[in-house]
Structure 1
């Protein structure tokens, strides 16, 4: 579990609107790997490498708290072009502009849920801030296979008022 010292590691930032292309994973979280492979294939076909186009995830649900059939998770890439109709089901969305609390998570996704829970259950109530009407989202800064899983870097964005 993140230590109390992480409160000092939380940055408050103003985020500009981010146009994104989205693969909407809906259903069993155990099948997320299939969605990731399809999303990567679409990105390769469109020449959208993660080194030049930021990778995001939008977290709508905690997989421990919803039925597998109700689970929602968006795989996203920042774009600067229109999304054409495609067989992958990729759609256009936007990460809205606004203030966010940002916590950097280093390591495996196995402990990512603990960092997200820390933001909600410890930092938010003690901060005096209020959450905004947009889900927590992640920016994948460094990830496997570019780095070993334990060296992955993910910035967790909690939209606040």
Structure 2
């Protein structure tokens, strides 16, 4: 798997926080999608989709799992009924790897953490891994899903 060291740019986002089982993440994502549609943030090139994965749902109790689902944007996020709020992903030096396939079985994060990092002479930074969902949509086949994973480094 190809790994690049890149500079992730400071990115303002509209985010919805998900706490709880990974099996209910789709409910949080649905809220963000409804908010996105209501506010006209549909252009995937301009308003990119991210997940900030604070925990690994496979290695933590479901009630402790936490991920923020985000859309990049510069507009202010107004108070809303969905729980969408303004946040910022800081500028970070990262290892980047691309995964193609199901988002429920991301091979890039596993490779970065279990193979690349221990052999890289690098150390993981303090910010959570960032998943850039390059393409999204309800008609997208799992085999076509592209996710760039950014592992923050010190």
- Give the TM interval when normalised to the shorter protein: over 0.9
Count of residue pairs the alignment pairs up: 153
Task: Return 5+ residue gaps in structure 1 as ranges.
Answer: 1-5
Residue 93 of structure 1 pairs with residue 87 of structure 2: yes
Gaps of 5+ in 2: none
Deviation at 1:111, TM superposition (A): 2.2
- Provide the alpha-carbon RMSD of the alignment: 1.3
Shift of 1:125: 1.2
User: Residue 142 of structure 1 aligns to a residue in which SS?
Assistant: coil
| Secondary structure of the structure 2 residue equivalent to 1:147 | coil
Instruction: Report if the CA contact (8 A) 1:144-1:152 is conserved.
Output: no
Q: Deviations over 1:6-61 (max 9, x none)?
A: 1xx11111122001110001112211111111110000011111232010001011
- Partner of residue 16, structure 2: 23
TM-score after normalising by structure 1 = 0.90
Residue pair 1:57, 1:74 contacting (<8 A) in 2 also: yes
- Map 1:56-135 onto structure 2 (within 5 A): 56-112=50-106, 114-135=107-128
TM-score (norm 2): 0.94
- The equivalent position to 2:153 in structure 1, one of 122, 146, 160, is 160
Q: Distance in 2 between matches of 1:156 and 1:68?
A: 22
